[in-house]
Amino acid sequence: MAELLVSHGININEKDKDGKTTLDINQEYYRSDLADFLVSHGATISQSDM
């Protein structure tokens, strides 16, 4: 799903109504493979992501 959204130009650094980015939401599910994918496609790592 993430690959499809990225291939269609989704802004992966956009925040939802709660102020969370895709990388923030990913942290809730502990998916390191998805985190690597998001970062390799431009996701910004913030202090809250560490």
pLDDT, tens digit (0-9, with 9 covering 90-100), for 1-50: 888 988 999 899 999 999 999 898 888 888 889 999 999 999 998 766 55
d(CA 19, CA 37): 21
pLDDT of residue 50: 53
CB–CB of 43/22 below 8 Å? Answer: yes
pLDDT of residue 14: 92
pTM of the model: 0.70
Tokens encoding 34: 């998805």
d(CA 2, CA 29): 14
Sign, CA dihedral 6-10-16-19, equals positive
Residues, the chain, total? 50
pLDDT of residue 1: 81
Domain residue limits, the chain = 2-45
